[in-house]
């Protein structure tokens, strides 16, 4: 009960962190950057998941991911026993992925611009739903066929500990606390850094309940 109250208090108290934190040459944390558009983003997620519900995919090794996922935009990311890929059609519905909402496009572009990547116009958006205990192992975002464009990642709801590694899986990692409304942008020399999420701690957030939502934008080469 104590943890739940503390999470809700974080949501209500003013955020006194700096507006921008340079993590590395091409990586920037923008604390609270998405808060102004949070409710619009939650409504957009609800509409997307009516067309493309969250599902837990399987890794090439055969294990089921602990994170539930869906996508929107021209391309969606999928994981199967055959590997990872981007598709124009949702394999679970045989329909195109839902359109990317204007609020998503605008927010992703503004965040990228603030981080120094003014020409970012994403064509793929991954939406991850983390329940308590869900995690994301260290990985690189390299299925896009383009490393010249950055990755923009929005966090809503429960706090998460983001693992920020190096260009090799064995490199040391830093732990970065992500709160509701925080945005991470990485590209340039840091585009292929390994990264992940530690298991989400149990709690309740006023915006998302017992969930952390992560909305990640990429550009996929066509």
Contacts of 34 (CB under 8 A, 6+ apart): 41, 107, 111, 154, 155, 156, 181, 182, 183
Q: What is the pLDDT of residue 15?
A: 67
Q: What is the pLDDT of residue 222?
A: 80
Distance, in Å, from the CA atom of 80 to the CA atom of 193, rounded to the nearest integer, reads 23
Q: What is the pLDDT of residue 2?
A: 38
Residues 57, 156, 215, 29, CA torsion sign:
negative
CB 127 within 8 A of CB 52: no
Instruction: Give Rg (Cα) of the chain.
Output: 16
Report residue 177 as tokens.
């606390």
> pLDDT by residue for the chain (222 residues), tens digit each?
334 433 333 444 556 788 999 999 999 999 999 999 999 999 999 999 999 999 999 988 889 999 999 999 999 999 987 889 999 999 999 999 999 999 999 999 999 999 999 999 999 999 999 999 999 999 999 999 999 999 999 999 999 999 999 999 999 999 999 999 999 999 999 999 999 999 999 999 999 999 999 999 999 998
Q: 135 exposed, middle or buried (CB, 10 Å; 0-12, 13-18, 19+)?
A: middle
Distance, in Å, from the CA atom of 58 to the CA atom of 196, rounded to the nearest integer, reads 17
Q: What is the pLDDT of residue 211?
A: 98
Longest dimension (CA), the chain: 49
Report residue 15 as tokens.
């955020």
Contacts 24+ apart (CB under 8 A), 137-141: 137/196, 138/163, 138/165, 138/169, 138/173, 138/194, 138/195, 138/196, 139/194, 139/195, 139/196, 140/192, 140/193, 140/194, 140/195, 141/191, 141/192, 141/218
CB 153 within 8 A of CB 216: yes
Q: What is the pLDDT of residue 202?
A: 97
Q: What is the pLDDT of residue 18?
A: 87
């Amino acid at each position: 009960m104590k943890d739940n109250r503390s999470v809700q208090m974080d949501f209500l108290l003013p955020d006194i962190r700096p507006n921008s934190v340079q993590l590395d040459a091409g990586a920037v944390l923008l604390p609270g950057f998405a808060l102004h558009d949070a409710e619009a983003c939650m409504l957009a997620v609800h509409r997307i998941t009516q067309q493309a519900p969250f599902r837990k995919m399987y890794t090439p090794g055969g294990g089921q991911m602990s994170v539930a996922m869906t996508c929107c935009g021209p391309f969606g990311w999928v994981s199967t026993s055959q590997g990872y890929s981007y598709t124009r059609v949702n394999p679970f519905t045989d329909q195109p992925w839902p359109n990317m909402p204007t609020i998503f496009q605008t927010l992703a572009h503004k965040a990228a611009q603030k981080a120094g990547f003014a020409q970012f116009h994403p064509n793929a958006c991954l939406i991850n739903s983390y329940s308590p205990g869900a995690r994301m192992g260290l990985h690189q975002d390299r299925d896009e066929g383009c490393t010249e464009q950055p990755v923009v990642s929005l966090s809503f709801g429960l706090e998460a500990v983001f693992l920020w590694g190096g260009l090799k899986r064995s490199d040391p990692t830093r732990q970065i606390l992500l709160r509701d409304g925080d945005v991470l942008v990485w590209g340039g020399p840091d585009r292929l850094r390994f990264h992940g999420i530690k298991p989400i701690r149990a709690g309740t957030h006023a915006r998302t309940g017992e969930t952390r939502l992560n909305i990640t934008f990429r550009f996929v080469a066509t």
